[in-house]
Amino acid sequence: MQNTNEVKVLGAGTSKHQMVSTVLKEYIDKAGISIDVKDYTDVDQFIKDGIDSIPAVIYKDKVINIGSNGSFNKTLRKAVNEVLKESNFGRIDKIVIPVDFSDVSSNAFAFGHRLATDLGAVTKAVHVFSPSAKELAESATVDVDFALLHNSYLEEFVATFDSDWGSDLMRTSLIDSEFRTGFPGEQILESIDDNKVFMTIMGTTGKSDVVRKWFGSVSTKVMHESTTPVLLVPQEAHYQGINKIAYAYENIDQDKSILEKLAFLANRLEAEIHLIHVEDGKDHPDPGFFLTELLTDHYPSSHIITSSIHDSNIVNGINDYCASNDIDVISLSTHKKNFFEKIYDDNISLQMTVASSLPLLILKDVQ
């Protein structure tokens, strides 16, 4: 029986053998997991043990032949996943992306996978099986395991994305999957807590006439109750890097508490921070100078831009600014009740470019 704290790399000392060992060691070190990678080169013993080909990786008595069927990178990536998944990828950041196999969630997953790559995070696809009335009725008369069927959909979904990541193994985000059963909103929130995720990404249609429908009931629940940042990705959004993040602020006492979170994310993406304040004649005086001073404690002033916008319509003011300044992501915080109440209560239509093309990042104030 193999030592569970050991990964065996079998080979003949070739460059491919050495690459397998190096990649495994780098990932294990990045994850902060206590697992030893040991090399073995006794080919005669491999033959006696029934090893089909080398190089190969053995972890917890499971053999993974690297390069089987001519796919060296794909099988090496599989081996890395097998080793790290046991410890839930250790200290490597995880980004949860709920998927329901729709075009909207597929687009959000594609967006999130590329963002996870830039952040050095693991992409975790979470599917929540909540059987419909039709499925429940059919299961009573037909021998069909709909949960098993949905689980296979998830495996196929992940396999499709995992095969389209290119040749840069050490850079491209690893993909993991998680299948759950229950109410989607509750299960997604449980997954966020269980995995201690860095960020949650959800897809939105961006075409509804009413903001509440645009967010959707599940997205709205996750957005307000999650303890982590939530990125809502419209169906029309395509990832081209995040170089500029616009943060809409109102009150210095509220906003200063999340500036560190904003700076932390922007720093990892090397993005500009645009602090924007929309004055509609009812708000407090613009506290932008004080916020900039606070933010420079966490981020270089050369990457901070502060602007005031005069517009009676908050949404239009933000939209116009983002369109004029090539903003990639708009950021708000959940304590901005006035902002969301104005949208919901006034039933403002989403006839604005930003609502259909730019992701919305909700930062969490959990202090």
Q: Which domains does the chain have, with CATH numbers?
A: 6-85 (3.40.30), 94-234 (3.40.50.620), 244-363 (3.40.50.620)
The predicted pLDDT at position 169 comes to 60
SS3 letters for 296-351? CCCCCHHHEEEEEEECCCHHHHHHHHHHHCCCCEEEEECCCHHHHHHHHHHCCCCC
d(CA 311, CA 280): 5
- C-alpha span between 145 and 148 (Å, rounded): 5
pLDDT of residue 262: 87
DSSP 8-state symbol, 286: P
Range picked from 103-107, 135-139, 149-153, 241-245 for highest mean pLDDT: 241-245
Q: Is the peptide bond before 131 cis (omega within 30 degrees of 0)?
A: no
The mean-pLDDT minimum among 20-24, 32-36, 256-260, 272-276 falls in 256-260
Q: Please name the residue ranges forming H helices in the chain.
A: 15-31, 43-48, 72-85, 103-119, 133-141, 146-162, 184-195, 211-215, 217-225, 252-255, 259-269, 288-295, 314-324, 337-346, 353-357
Mean pLDDT along residues 126-142: 66
Torsion over CA: 182, 183, 184, 187 (sign): negative
Query: For residue 313, what are its two tokens?
Result: 């319509």
Instruction: Please give the Cα distance from 291 to 259 (Å, whole number).
Output: 8
Can you read off the two tokens belonging to residue 155? 């495996």
At 107, is the secondary structure helix, strand, or coil?
Answer: helix
Residue 214: the pLDDT is 40
| Radius of gyration for the alpha carbons in the chain, expressed in angstroms and rounded | 24
pLDDT at 137: 56
Query: What is the C-alpha to C-alpha distance for residues 269 and 267, in angstroms, rounded to an integer?
Result: 5
Angstrom distance (rounded) from CA 231 to CA 201:
5
Mean pLDDT of the chain: 80
Would the pLDDT of 11 be above 60? yes
Question: Rounded to two decimals, what is the model's pTM?
Answer: 0.84
> Among 166-180, 247-261, 331-345, whose mean pLDDT is lowest?
331-345
CB environment 115-152: b (16+ within 10 A), e (fewer)? bbbebebbbbbbbbbbeeeebeeeeeeeeeebeeebbe
> Environment class of residue 315 by beta-carbon count within 10 Å: exposed (0-12), middle (13-18) or buried (19+)?
buried
By the 8 A CB rule, do 33 and 84 touch? yes
Q: Burial level of 325, CB count in 10 A (0-12/13-18/19+)?
A: middle
Name the residue with higher pLDDT: 334 or 90. 90
Two tokens, residue 78:
């599989």
Report the range out of 168-172, 204-208, 315-319 with the highest average pLDDT.
315-319
Rounded distance between C-alpha atoms, residue 107 and residue 117, angstroms: 16
How far is residue 292 from each of residues 54, 212, 331, 333, measured CA to CA in Å? 57, 32, 16, 17
Residue 178 has pLDDT above 70, yes or no: yes
What is the tens place of the pLDDT at every residue in 197-221? 999 999 886 444 334 444 457 877 8
Answer with the residue of higher pLDDT: 146 or 128: 128
